[in-house]
Amino acid sequence: MMGWTETLRTAIAALNARRMRSALTMLGILIGIAAVMLTVGLGQGAQQQITDQISSLGSNLISVSPSQSTSSGGFRGGGSAVSTLTMQDAEMLADPQIAPDVVAVAPTSSTSGSLQSSETTWTSTVVGTVPEWLTVRAREVDTGRFFTTAEVDSSANVAVIGSETSSELFSVGSPIGQTISINGQSFTIIGVLASEGSSTTSSLDDTVLVPITTFASRLSTSSSANSVSTIYLSGKDTDSLSAAYQQVNTALLASHQVTSENADFTVTTQASLVETATSVTGILTLLLGGIAAISLLVGGIGVMNIMLVSVSERVREIGLRKALGATPGVIRRQFLVEAGILGVLGGLVGVGLGFAGAAILTPILSMTVLISIPATLIALAVSLGIGLVAGVYPASRAAKLAPIDALRSE
Amino acid sequence: MLQMSGVRKTYSTGVVEVEALRGINLDVDAGEYLAIMGPSGSGKSTLMHIIGCLDVPTAGTYLLDGTDVSSMSERQLAEVRNKKIGFVFQQFNLLASLTAIRNVELPLVYAGVPAAERRERAMAALEKVGLAQRVQHRPGELSGGQQQRVSVARALVTDPALILADEPTGALDSHSTAEILELFGELNESGRTIVVITHEAEVGQRAKHLVHIYDGLLRESVPVATAGAAR
């Protein structure tokens, strides 16, 4: 029986004898593999980017936002929604008896505010909240300090601003101790937040934080001074996040006297956000990857086509090899190996092109193209598989040729 | 060495049945040099295919070197061809992309002989046909006579029981024809069994025995009257 080294050697010699054709055949596989790698890489890159962004919103974050329940139709037509969440809800959730897995609660209310410093004016989001906000949102103060619980209780006119807001309002000098006016009310700046460093969502760094009591009495546009727009909570750790979610949900359902069918609020965990984002990008990746996979399929058909041509061109050679003692199995293996080599070589160059494309596209699209090692190995295995599958029919045609018919053909 | 009795071969081309061989009885002893002559359409090629185990008879028995090959599978036939028969074709049938020595090595590749031994044996065979200086040439760089000698070397390399030549001089000029016939004579002297199929009387005359085939039947015609060549 013929050894593998000889089979490989013969296959390479046959492919080498028709270099141009072999190269063009490989091109089909090559483009397919590179396209699949890039589209899947882009999808995974986008997925990771989104996941990172959501994680940067705060670790173990749970947010409760108001929603209009389907049964309370009276709320609907009224233009801007009246929040169904109140300060009392936030206080209740801070009770360790009610929600033991919640460690920090930060009720927030927000509005758009026009800011005026001694130099300039600027429009930003003004958020009323409590000191726990820092913990819950996983933020830090860069210079100065955050406001205290005492300042919340006394409705002090103090504000903490984001780094971008700071640089917009005060081009020179420290903003600490400066007075700015927010919607006509004057506030003293006591701190500047550390930059979140996210390039895509600059709004994280463009914000003004004031005590929620001060917000309610002096800035709120809401009819009810007691209502809050979102309650942020921090779970104890990642493992107890779903327990915390359950406790919050159950407590709010009970206090609002509603069921989960007509709930007037929505509880969202970071995990559920990530899940939603992942499923969306996952579908996109699948769709794009599927389109790219079709080009790979076309490449495979190209291999089969060229192998069939090769078999009919080499009928005489096949006949001679059979006369000299090649069994049908040996001939079949010969052509399968040729097709497999076309597939693998196309795949290898395709993977190379995929990496090169990823390196080029990343700065151009300012998106991460994430190419993983397992994905690369799968791509190679797939290209070998395509080569082999495409080779099966031509190879069995070659193996079935009768030696006398093959020798006779001129 | 080679015993055929009552060998028939029928081809069916669509509705028509063609009886190419109609009962061939043939005995070839070891060390024999037999020529089979016949015009085209006589069944000559069909007989060559059956002797060469490229095809199996429809009826009758064929023993090659003591083995019944008349009902073997294609895989088994490939093995028999590889081990017991050395082919020499009219069109040489060398692979154009391979050097002379690689062409000669080919039957050994299919026999699974290790590379070093293969080279050695192919070299020896090429020396025997007087082409030791041309081993790295490709067929395109060799004359017709030289190409045919490469294919004789390829036929010899497995040390087969039988050398089967199908019109070996059909594509050669008279000078090369003489050379090849000379080579066959020498090989037979050294004990090789040779069967040549030809339509050239000149080639037939050089063999020890000669049989004619007409309409799928053998007719004896023995230049040197010895028993055993044909019945």
At A219 the pLDDT is: 86
Average pLDDT of the residues in B201-208: 90
At A198 the pLDDT is: 57
Mean pLDDT of chain A: 85
Instruction: Tell me the percentage of chain B whose pLDDT exceeds 70.
Output: 95
**Does the beta-carbon distance from A327 to B49 stay under 8 Å?**
no
Residue of B56, B97, B99, B163 to mutate, interface with A, max A Cβ within 10 Å = B97
Which among B54, B97, B107 is the nearest to A403, CB-wise? Answer: B54
pLDDT greater than 50 at residue A4: yes
Using a CB cutoff of 8 Å and minimum separation of 24, what contacts does A147-152 make?
A147/A190, A147/A191, A147/A209, A147/A210, A147/A211, A151/A211, A152/A211, A152/A212, A152/A213, A152/A214
Residue A370 tokens read as: 């994430």
d(CA A340, CA A234): 55
d(CA A307, CA A302): 9
Quote the minimal CA–CA distance from B120 to chain A in Å: 17
pLDDT greater than 70 at residue A90: yes
Average pLDDT of the residues in A228-255: 86
Residue B111 tokens read as: 């026999």
Which among B52, B78, B154 is the nearest to A326, CB-wise? Answer: B78
- Contact criterion met (CB below 8 Å) for A304 and A347: no
Which residue reads 């031994």 in tokens? B117
Strand partners, B61: B5
Going by pLDDT thresholds of 50, 70 and 90, the confidence category of residue A68 is low
Closest residue in A to B111 (Cα–Cα) = A1
Which among A3, A316, A403 is the nearest to B112, CB-wise? Answer: A3
- Contact criterion met (CB below 8 Å) for A215 and A230: no
Within 8 A of B81 by CB-CB distance, chain A residues are: 322-325
Which residue reads 């699949």 in tokens? A36
d(CA A284, CA A277): 11
Within 8 A of B109 by CB-CB distance, chain A residues are: 2, 6
Going by pLDDT thresholds of 50, 70 and 90, the confidence category of residue B156 is very high
Query: Which of A:283-342 have CB within 8 Å of B?
Result: 316-317, 320-330
Average pLDDT of the residues in B216-226: 65
A402 touches chain B (CB under 8 A): yes
pLDDT greater than 70 at residue A372: yes
At A107 the pLDDT is: 92
pLDDT greater than 80 at residue A199: no
At A78 the pLDDT is: 40
Please tell me the number of Cα atoms within 13 Å of B79 on its side-chain side.
10
Please tell me the number of Cα atoms within 13 Å of A367 on its side-chain side.
18
At A77 the pLDDT is: 39
Which among B74, B79, B93 is the nearest to A320, CB-wise? Answer: B93
Average pLDDT of the residues in A86-94: 88
Going by pLDDT thresholds of 50, 70 and 90, the confidence category of residue A242 is confident
At B59 the pLDDT is: 92
- Contact criterion met (CB below 8 Å) for A45 and A368: yes
Mean pLDDT of chain B: 90
- Contact criterion met (CB below 8 Å) for A147 and A156: yes
Instruction: Tell me the percentage of chain A whose pLDDT exceeds 90.
Output: 36
At A370 the pLDDT is: 83
Going by pLDDT thresholds of 50, 70 and 90, the confidence category of residue B147 is very high
A2 touches chain B (CB under 8 A): yes
Going by pLDDT thresholds of 50, 70 and 90, the confidence category of residue A82 is low
By CB neighbour count within 10 A (0-12 exposed, 13-18 middle, 19+ buried), where does A268 fall? Answer: middle
Within 8 A of A12 by CB-CB distance, chain B residues are: none
Write out pLDDT tens, residues B15-49: 888 889 999 999 999 999 999 998 888 888 899 99
3-state SS class at A291:
helix
Strand partners, B220: B211
**Does the beta-carbon distance from B75 to A317 stay under 8 Å?**
no
Residue A229 tokens read as: 């727009």
Average pLDDT of the residues in A233-254: 85
Write out pLDDT tens, residues A160-193: 999 888 888 888 888 899 899 999 899 999 999 9
Going by pLDDT thresholds of 50, 70 and 90, the confidence category of residue A75 is very low
At A58 the pLDDT is: 66
- Contact criterion met (CB below 8 Å) for A350 and A32: yes
**Does the beta-carbon distance from A323 to B110 stay under 8 Å?**
no
- Contact criterion met (CB below 8 Å) for A345 and A26: yes
At A315 the pLDDT is: 92
**Does the beta-carbon distance from A321 to B106 stay under 8 Å?**
yes
> Distance from CA of residue A214 to its chain's centroid?
38
Write out pLDDT tens, residues A297-337: 899 999 999 999 999 999 999 999 999 999 999 999 999 99
Q: How many residues belong to chain A?
A: 410
pLDDT greater than 80 at residue B211: yes
Residue A144 tokens read as: 């100065």
Average pLDDT of the residues in A278-291: 86
- Domains delineated in chain B: 32-49+73-220 (3.40.50.300)
Q: What are phi and psi of A232, to 5 degrees?
A: -95, 135
pLDDT greater than 50 at residue A72: no
Highest-confidence range of A115-124, A255-264, B69-78, B153-162, by mean pLDDT? B153-162
Average pLDDT of the residues in A220-241: 81
Write out pLDDT tens, residues B83-130: 999 999 988 999 998 999 999 999 999 999 999 999 999 999 999 999
pLDDT greater than 60 at residue B222: no
Weakest-pLDDT range from A64-68, A223-227, A394-398, B7-11: A223-227
pLDDT greater than 70 at residue A59: no
Write out pLDDT tens, residues A41-58: 888 888 888 877 777 766
Q: What are phi and psi of B16, to 5 degrees?
A: -85, 135
Q: To the nearest 10°, report the CA torsion of B120, B123, B129, B130.
A: -130
Q: To the nearest 10°, report the CA torsion of A90, A93, A95, A96.
A: -150
Within 8 A of B98 by CB-CB distance, chain A residues are: 13
- Contact criterion met (CB below 8 Å) for A325 and B81: yes
At B106 the pLDDT is: 94
Average pLDDT of the residues in A113-135: 89
- Contact criterion met (CB below 8 Å) for A381 and A342: no
By CB neighbour count within 10 A (0-12 exposed, 13-18 middle, 19+ buried), where does A224 fall? Answer: exposed
Within 8 A of A324 by CB-CB distance, chain B residues are: 81-82, 87, 106-107, 110, 154
Count interface pairs A-B at CB distance under 8 A: 61
pLDDT greater than 50 at residue B231: no
Going by pLDDT thresholds of 50, 70 and 90, the confidence category of residue A223 is low
pLDDT greater than 90 at residue A368: no
Quote the minimal CA–CA distance from B176 to chain A in Å: 23
Within 8 A of A310 by CB-CB distance, chain B residues are: none
At A61 the pLDDT is: 85
